[in-house]
Homo-oligomer: A and B are copies of this chain.
């Protein structure tokens, strides 16, 4: 609840400051920024094969040595496609390609590389994408408009097409249906763990599967909240409906998360539907089709799972933070208030310091620009009312709140006292680890 004391009394000596034992432990934890995130899942999802969906990886040496850095996903004929991309005004050449091709609604091959994002690489970057498309279409026996390219890594470094195309050939040679785990590893950059999720749904007697992989750990903010995510299902869904599903699903998952408020030039979320598990049924093509509800719920659940995995791998993260906003003017106002809290460095450092500093939450609500009634604002932390009717709850029980702040999962609820708009967003804390990863790595 307290602000930092004056670091130096006027005219006096710098005040001595002790680091208590529990802080020392927290520091040690954040120092190990290069180790696997303490918020990593205990075990990784095992993704089942999807008929006709072949995945292959290769170590092409685009930047990393001795690890896979190319992924190819080959999709059967008739696969529908949809996608959501970064809103950046300086999007990469691969994003430009995907945005164009997604309009055709069809997908046969996805080529992904890590190590170089081919962003801000001028005409040469466009040429690299074009050469990749030609080679991939030939390899997949598809049209150029059915090829998708995604690149993640350094910005502004010219990317030679040859290693990528050679890597693609190797990856295709090795491709089979059972390489989801390798695939998730090949697309990592500063990620400390791979991200996988899978769901099964019954649709009129057919068992349908949805598999997804993602990568991302910094530069994570709406819109999009991940750098790269690829989701494939064997359901049969028409492309226009698939686009509706992914757009709405992204809003409630990736676009409701933020690690550091920065937006990548390369953010790409692609969703493909092969139809292989619904051979005896017609395509689902309408939002009012009764077969859609269960699928949609499973897809949204999977997207949220992947988005949370990305946040839990936020650079330097030691805590996973849920922020539920209610009482806002509208859903979008609630989301903007939530993201203002999620993106506030002062809120995020307070959480890193295990400090239930709700004053900073008030500040963040105020800066969001959305309507809020200062004198009706209420805040709950870990389920305990700490502020209500515009001031601290007199004599609230600090012990359970302090215990909650020491945990890995922090729950914040804010009611701004205006209307009925609600939204939940997710973020992580801001620690020494984030600074170490992003400031200290140059030799």
Chain A 423-443 interface mask (CB, 8 Å, partner B; 1/0): 000000111101111111111
Given A155-B362, A372-B89, A442-B355: A124 and B391 within 8 A (CB)? yes
What distance in Å separates the Cβ of A244 from its nearest Cβ neighbour in chain B?
24
Q: Which of A64-84 contact B (CB under 8 A)?
A: 64, 66-68
Interface centre among A89, A358, A434, A439 (most CB of B within 10 A): A439
Determine if A364 is an interface residue (Cβ-Cβ < 8 Å).
yes
- Inter-subunit contact A191/B6 (CB<8 Å): yes
Option from B1, B27, B122, B263 in Cβ contact (under 8 Å) with A389: B122
Given A17-B441, A430-B439: A377 and B5 within 8 A (CB)? no
- Inter-subunit contact B263/A88 (CB<8 Å): no
CA–CA, A193 and B121, complex, Å:
44
Main secondary structure of the interface of A (DSSP, over half): loop
Residues of B within 8 A of A344 (CB): 261-262
- Inter-subunit contact B19/A440 (CB<8 Å): yes
- Inter-subunit contact A362/B392 (CB<8 Å): no
Determine if A131 is an interface residue (Cβ-Cβ < 8 Å).
no
Considering the complex, give the chain B residue whose CB is closest to the CB of A372.
B89
Determine if A91 is an interface residue (Cβ-Cβ < 8 Å).
yes
Option from B8, B67, B219 in Cβ contact (under 8 Å) with A36: B8
Option from B7, B11, B191, B439 in Cβ contact (under 8 Å) with A34: B7
What distance in Å separates the Cβ of A364 from its nearest Cβ neighbour in chain B?
7
Q: How many copies does the complex hold?
A: 2
Interface segment among A162-170, A182-190, A229-237, A288-296: the answer is A182-190
Residues of B within 8 A of A370 (CB): 89
Interface segment among A48-56, A101-109, A200-208, A346-354: the answer is A346-354
- Inter-subunit contact A3/B362 (CB<8 Å): no
What distance in Å separates the Cβ of A339 from its nearest Cβ neighbour in chain B?
12
CA–CA, A384 and B125, complex, Å:
23
Chain A 326-351 interface mask (CB, 8 Å, partner B; 1/0): 00000000000000000111100110
Given A10-B67, A67-B6, A359-B120: A27 and B371 within 8 A (CB)? no
- Inter-subunit contact A390/B7 (CB<8 Å): no
Could you list 17 further interchain pairs (A-B, Cβ under 8 angstroms) beyond the known A90-B362, A349-B434? A1-B156, A4-B189, A5-B64, A7-B33, A7-B190, A7-B437, A8-B193, A10-B194, A26-B440, A86-B366, A120-B387, A122-B375, A262-B345, A262-B346, A262-B363, A265-B363, A434-B435
Sampled A-B contacts (20; CB under 8 Å): A3-B155, A7-B34, A7-B192, A10-B67, A19-B440, A27-B440, A88-B363, A88-B366, A89-B365, A89-B366, A89-B370, A120-B362, A121-B391, A122-B391, A124-B391, A260-B346, A263-B366, A345-B434, A352-B435, A353-B442
